[in-house]
Amino acid sequence: MQTTILIADDDIELSALLKEYFESEGFVVRLAHDGRAALDEARKPGLDLVVLDVMMPEMNGMDVLRELRKESRLPVIMLTARGDDMDRILGLELGADDYVPKPCNPRELLARIRAVMRRAQGAADHGVLNVDDLELRQGSRTLLKAGEQVELTSTEFSILQALLQHQGDVVSKRDLYMSALGREPVPHDRSVDMHVSNLRRKLGPDHEGKNRIETIRGIGYQYRTP
C-alpha cells in the first residue's frame, strides 16, 4: 500500500522537486502552497504524513499545526529555518513529530519520513503495558490514563513506550533518539527533551505528586518506580 504525504510549502519550485523525488521513491504526493490550503488538505482522508513549512502565507505552519492537533494525530515533520531554535522548540511543543532544517536534503527528509512512518504503523510487540494508572496499548498505539484516552503524537508514544518498557531503569538519550526518532542525536538538538516535557504535561504527576519521568542529568530519563 502506497504512503500518501502532503508537502506544504510556498516555495513552488522546491515543492515540485520534492514531489518528483518522493514519487520516484513510490510515494503519492499532494501539494499545498499556503497554510489554509495545507490545513484543508490535511483534513482530507487517505493522508499518512505532512511535511509542513513554518513560513507560509494565509496561515503560518505553527498555526496550521496548532489547529491540526486539536483534531488529529497525523504525523507531522516541520521544515524550519536552519539555526532557528525557537521555531523547532515551538513546533515540538505544539506536537510536531520531528523537524528538518531548510534548505533540506531530500534524502535526509526521506529518511525522517520513513522513520516517523515506521513508528506510526505500530510496534512489533502488540501487547499492553500497565504501569501505575497508565495502560499503553502497543498494537493500536493508544494510551489510557485511569481509563481515559490521552492523545499522544507518534513520537511521544514511542518515547513513553521505551520508558515504560524499562520502568525504573535509566534510558539514555541516545537510545531514545534511536528508538523514537530513528536517528542519532546531533549537537544542540533538544527534540527528545521537548517531547519528554510534553509527556510530563499530558500525564501529570503521579499519586505522590511527583514527576513520573525523572531527568538523570548527563545520561537520559527514567520512569519512576512507585
Grid cell locating 80: 524550519
Q: Which residues of the chain are modeled with pLDDT < 50? A: 123-124
pTM confidence score: 0.74
Average pLDDT taken over every residue of the chain: 89
Question: CB pairs under 8 A, 24+ apart, for 138-142?
Answer: none
Per-residue burial over 150-173, b if 16 or more Cβ lie within 10 Å, else e, is bebbbbbbbbbbbbbbebeeebeb
* Distance linking the first and last C-alpha atoms of the chain: 43
Grid cell locating 216: 538523570
> What does CATH list as the number for 4-120?
3.40.50.2300
Local structure of 56: helix, strand or coil: coil
> What does CATH list as the number for 128-223?
1.10.10.10
Q: Outline where 56-190 has alpha helix (H).
A: 61-68, 85-93, 106-120, 154-165, 173-176
pLDDT value of position 186: 80
Instruction: Spell out the domain ranges in the chain.
Output: 4-120, 128-223
Tell me the pairing of strands 128-131 and 220-223: unpaired
pLDDT value of position 116: 85
